[in-house]
Structure 1
Amino acid sequence: MERTFLSGIKKEIIYCLKVLLLFIGGNCLSACAKGAQKVTLIDPPNIIFILADDLGYGDLSCYGHPYAQTPNIDQLARTGLQLKRCYALGVTCAPSRAAFMTGRFPATLPGNSAINGFDEYLTLTDILRQNGYQTGHVGKWHMGNKQQLGPQPYGIEYINKQLRMPAAGEGKDDSLFAAAIDFMDRSKEKPFYLNIWCHTIHFPIGIGSKFETLFDTIKVNEHDFSQWYVDNKIRPIQQAGLNLDSLMKQYLAEVYDLDHHVGEIIQYLEENNLSENTIIVFSSDHGPAPIELDLQESEDRKKKRFSLLGTSGDFKGGKHTFQEGGVRIPFIIRWPAKFLWGTVDSSTVFSAADFMPTLCGVIGLSTKEFQLSGEDMQASWRGEITKRAQPLFWRTQSAGSSVTILDGDWKLYENLGGVVTLFNLKSDATENNNIAKAHPEIVRDLRRKIDKWKATLPN
């Protein structure tokens, strides 16, 4: 108890120092946490960041799902920018969110961010609040113990976690989106930033879904999916003697429920004349969850595991893996006042760590002084193919774990036993052919970059 109390005092002191230093624009607790210079923004847009949970790269109609109905998210894509090479930087909930919020590779943060938060590092919401934004967060948290973080952590003024399970007839995120609209209604006279971090499409599937009847006619044809998906999702269901069509119906209904709520946000903005100057970003935290059976679970919960039918499209892997299916995520951004309509970018490599510097950049705020892992890729948001300057790195927040690097089209996995696998994603996006032996010079170069990066990480 004493340790918890002292930890809470420490967090409150750190938070107060951050706010003070932001206000005076001075130096913060370390070179990594400098104060942000306040800037007078011209006609700043509202910003809404909708983050789905465990939604696969291929789970939306606009990303190629053969059966999904996602008309509202598809509308965002048709009237905005759709990135085809956006990468999560964590393969579980907390590290992925850490990258979006701090602009940093999760492994560069000390400890487990789900428990410890982001320590003294500034966040996107810190900077936006300092520059006149009202800041809100509804839904899933995974950013540290709120009770120990002090008042208004990370510069977030309004927090509504919405953790309760839905009542009969409710969708999983009904109350969450109602809270989001309530926040916007109270904040619309000034620019606002709002995280809407969904529980959909996380396990368990089919809780309170209202839309299953829309998919009554679904008959799953395994030829509509990749062989990896067939082997890892469809075959286990068939071997267990369960009804594949019924389970797919549950999954699609929950994705539709999410899309329905996105439509509510779009409708609210239009009805309140906020649509033109509001940035909407839609993405997911990482790839889809695998079917993993826990022998300690009840038979009913084991059966529910089989409804985890999210797909990574043509890619292998999902949540918990650094394969393309685990880290490649949907990413859609719409800002009618500024961006091109209906742009699809299949070339630019964008990451969750780029979100903070890029978003700040497009509204007129610089993050260069913060030495972030992410890059300001705002040219890509304006429809230009953009080449990043630095590689992307993945490693869990456990010291000594294996590292994966993506540098241009070259992706290398360095395993703990010293074995490496190398793929060229331009010619082999589905990672079928390990070409490490054929390209020893590429392997050496990428391993040097990994060693240099690992030397910068906390112990």
Structure 2
Amino acid sequence: MNSNPTDKTGTQSMNRRVSTFLLGAFFACVPPLAQSHAAERQAAKPPNIVFLLADDLGGGDLGCYGHPYARTPNIDSLAKEGTRFTQFNSTGATCCPARTGLMTAKFTATFVDYPANAGFADRVTITELLNQHGYATGHFGKWHIGPVSTNGTYGIDVINGVNEQPRSGKKKLSDDARGRDAHIYDEAITFIEENKGRPFYVNVWGHISHSKVDPQDALVKRWNGLKVDPGDFPSQMSVKFDSARKFGDVDDAMQHYLADVESLDDAVGRLLKRLDELGLRENTIVVFNSDQGAGMGEFNEGGTRIHMMGCNGPYRGGKHTFWEGGVRVPWIVRWPGHVPAGRIDNQSVLSGVDWLPTLCAVTGIKIDANEFDGEDTSAAWLGKAPHLRTKPLLWKTSNPGSEAYVRIGHWKLLYPTRQRHGSPQLYDIIADPAESNDVAAQHPDVVKRLSAVVQSWNDMLPTQYIKTDDKQD
């Protein structure tokens, strides 16, 4: 871990605060007598964990989340074999804040120095906790969570941060005929093969569908003949369609985008198949997520945003915003025999900050819940009960004067931390998921209550940040 003596929110090492122990057989299944001794040994192990993270994939970009054209059979199979959640929230509107929440169960605005620049200070990470309790840990793909990415950082045994630049002996990702995330999944599969005899945790953090979307022609040709009917999409996609017409062709742009997403699905399929071949399916938790929603900006001729046809479903806004389109993203969990298959959870409100406490719960690692912004949501994973939050969800950039957002129950409030930025806005997320109707005037009591929560949180945040970097993506 990196130290940061100026960080007022983390003055004591989490390693000294967190008392942990592992109940290795806590969730062990007792297999039928007819099964082999090998199966019995497998069942006695703590669960393996595979975390598949897409980049800028919209909440409506997968077949199982309602995209009218996308071909994502392998990711869709995770939803059929596990549970699909419809109210999962990213902790940030750009890549670093979202990843920080997942790794530390802390909101990024609580860090004095932006984690992409300085790391996590003395916050404990999920990989450290698992590694301390016998897990082999690996990270493959995008990093964006600190300046150091050598093996051992954050308790990760093997780190291979792949980017678009050529590496020694390897081609650029975009040169791979299978898609730009293929190398990342290759390396993750190798890690799984090498650690199949012990519990493992692996981050598989791809680049799809972050710009630049430029898949090889062979992938795009799979989509020849696709014609886009704007009526198949929510109204906010009209901005993208109009922009695409200025610089090219809507059908061509959509074909490129869907080819990129399909190549990600192909890679996911290869990894899932290898888990099956290794006999690891039954004792492996597989989660699919996106760091935040798709960007909704206009295209730029020949630039990085060409072909950016990501869809956030019916939700307002997208990447770089804390509207639902920016933070409501896919969350699929498969764990055979534990997580109900074919289930859709429309009630549980989950967040990226819940990843660490939930994994600690299912692996038997004890933590002090008060040290984290997230909650244990394992009951919702296991289908026992919807998760009803006791802690608010909060969003804010690393800027003292930026506006903040809070969600409590079915209410979501935009709170201007400085009066000149306007008045609070209130939305009923269940009745109005598109955030089209500000009901602050009708519910002044709710505005007052939620405003007090945000102001109390804001008062505890740093008054100055060592380096603000809200524009990173």
Structure 2 counterpart of 1:442, from 435, 439, 446: 446
Measured on the aligned residues, the alpha-carbon RMSD in Å equals 2.0
Q: Sequence identity of aligned pairs in percent?
A: 38
Closer/same/farther in 2, CA of residues 13 and 41 from structure 1, 3 Å limit: farther
Question: For 1:364 and 1:32, how far apart are their aligned partners in 2?
Answer: 17
- Amino acid paired to 1:39: L
2:210 pairs with 1:202:
yes
- What's the TM-score, normalizing by structure 1? 0.89
Deviations 1:74-113 (A, max 9, x none): 0000000100000001000001000000011111122211
Q: Is the 1:103–1:353 Cα contact (8 Å) retained in structure 2?
A: yes
1:215 to partner: Cα distance: 1.5
Aligned to 1:34: 17
Deviations 1:337-362 (A, max 9, x none): 32211110011100000111012112
2:198 pairs with 1:190:
yes
Instruction: Name the SS for the 2:292 alignment partner.
Output: coil
Aligned to 1:152: 152
| Residue range with higher mean Cα deviation, 102-111 or 412-421 | 412-421
Structure 1 counterpart of 2:283, from 277, 288, 292: 277
Instruction: Name the SS for the 1:300 alignment partner.
Output: coil
Deviations 1:28-70 (A, max 9, x none): 9347962442324112011000000000000000000000000
Question: For 2:369 and 2:56, how far apart are their aligned partners in 1?
Answer: 33
Aligned to 2:315: 315
| Structure 2 unaligned residues grouped into runs of 5+ | 26-44, 166-171, 464-473
Aligned to 1:97: 99
- Amino acid paired to 1:319: K
1:236 to partner: Cα distance: 1.4
2:136 pairs with 1:129:
no
| Residue range with higher mean Cα deviation, 200-209 or 248-257 | 200-209
Question: For 1:182 and 1:103, how far apart are their aligned partners in 2?
Answer: 28
After TM superposition, list the pairs within 5 Å mapping 1:204-219 onto structure 2: 204-208=212-216, 210-219=218-227
Instruction: Name the SS for the 1:404 alignment partner.
Output: strand
Aligned to 1:112: 114
Question: For 1:217 and 1:152, how far apart are their aligned partners in 2?
Answer: 48
Aligned to 2:38: none
Closer/same/farther in 2, CA of residues 161 and 271 from structure 1, 3 Å limit: same
Closer/same/farther in 2, CA of residues 418 and 366 from structure 1, 3 Å limit: farther
Question: For 1:401 and 1:251, how far apart are their aligned partners in 2?
Answer: 33
Question: For 2:15 and 2:441, how far apart are their aligned partners in 1?
Answer: 39
2:186 pairs with 1:178:
yes
2:244 pairs with 1:237:
yes
Question: For 1:409 and 1:82, how far apart are their aligned partners in 2?
Answer: 20
Q: Is the 1:171–1:209 Cα contact (8 Å) retained in structure 2?
A: no
Question: For 1:453 and 1:325, how far apart are their aligned partners in 2?
Answer: 24
| Residue range with higher mean Cα deviation, 161-170 or 259-268 | 161-170
Aligned to 1:75: 77
| Residue range with higher mean Cα deviation, 439-448 or 27-36 | 27-36
Instruction: Name the SS for the 1:91 alignment partner.
Output: coil
1:370 to partner: Cα distance: 5.7
Q: Is the 2:353–2:375 Cα contact (8 Å) retained in structure 1?
A: yes
Aligned to 2:59: 57
Closer/same/farther in 2, CA of residues 229 and 193 from structure 1, 3 Å limit: same
2:464 pairs with 1:454:
no
Closer/same/farther in 2, CA of residues 168 and 160 from structure 1, 3 Å limit: closer
Question: For 2:430 and 2:15, how far apart are their aligned partners in 1?
Answer: 35
Closer/same/farther in 2, CA of residues 159 and 357 from structure 1, 3 Å limit: same
Q: Is the 2:82–2:343 Cα contact (8 Å) retained in structure 1?
A: yes
Question: For 1:206 and 1:128, how far apart are their aligned partners in 2?
Answer: 37
1:116 to partner: Cα distance: 0.7
After TM superposition, list the pairs within 5 Å mapping 1:391-410 onto structure 2: 391-410=392-411
Q: Is the 2:14–2:123 Cα contact (8 Å) retained in structure 1?
A: no
Aligned to 2:355: 355
- What's the TM-score, normalizing by structure 2? 0.87
Aligned to 2:423: 419
Q: Is the 2:109–2:397 Cα contact (8 Å) retained in structure 1?
A: yes
| Residue range with higher mean Cα deviation, 335-344 or 401-410 | 335-344
Question: For 1:61 and 1:202, how far apart are their aligned partners in 2?
Answer: 19
- Amino acid paired to 1:352: G
Closer/same/farther in 2, CA of residues 70 and 151 from structure 1, 3 Å limit: closer
Question: For 1:293 and 1:300, how far apart are their aligned partners in 2?
Answer: 9
Question: For 1:168 and 1:265, how far apart are their aligned partners in 2?
Answer: 17
Q: Is the 1:66–1:224 Cα contact (8 Å) retained in structure 2?
A: yes
Deviations 1:129-159 (A, max 9, x none): 0010000000000111116xx7511100100
Aligned to 1:288: 294
Aligned to 2:262: 256
Deviations 1:283-318 (A, max 9, x none): 000000233467xxxx522xx523110000011111
Q: Is the 1:209–1:254 Cα contact (8 Å) retained in structure 2?
A: no
- Amino acid paired to 2:99: R
Q: Is the 2:14–2:124 Cα contact (8 Å) retained in structure 1?
A: no
